[in-house]
Amino acid sequence: MPAEPRLEEAVSCIVGLGNPGPRYEATPHNIGFLVINELAQRHSIRVSKKESAAVTGSGYIGNKPVILVKPQTFMNNSGAAVGPVLNYRNLTNHDLIVVYDELDLPWTALRIKKNGSAAGHNGVKSIIAALKTDVFTRVRVGIRPDHPLDAVQYVLAPFERELRDDVDEMVSYTADAVESIVAEGANRAMAKFNRRARGIQKEEE
Q: What is the pLDDT of residue 10?
A: 81
Q: Select from 139, 146, 108, 145 the least CA-distant residue to 124.
A: 139
Instruction: Give the pLDDT confidence score for residue 32 in this predicted structure.
Output: 97
Please count the residues of the chain.
Answer: 205
Q: Which residues are catalytic?
A: 29
Q: Which residues of the chain fall below pLDDT 50?
A: 6-7
DSSP category for residue 204: -
Cα torsion angle, 49, 98, 64, 34, sign: positive
pLDDT digits (tens, 9 = 90+) for 8-41: 568 999 999 999 999 888 898 899 999 999 999 9
With helix as H, strand as E and coil as C, how does 75-121 read? Answer: HHHCHHHHHHHHHHCCCCHHHEEEEEEEEEEECCCEEEECCCCCCCC
Residue 204 confidence (pLDDT): 53
Which are the contacts of 110, defined by CB distance < 8 A and separation ≥ 6? 139, 140, 141, 142, 170, 173, 174, 177, 193, 194, 195
Q: Residue 138 class from Cβ within 10 Å (0-12 exposed, 13-18 middle, 19+ buried)?
A: buried
What's the pLDDT score for residue 163?
Answer: 78
Instruction: Give the domains, in start order, of the chain with CATH numbers.
Output: 12-193 (3.40.50.1470)
pLDDT at residue number 44: 97
Distances (CA, A) of 188 to 168, 177, 182, 196: 24, 10, 10, 17
The pTM assigned to this predicted structure is 0.90
Please say whether the beta carbons of 79 and 117 come within 8 A. no
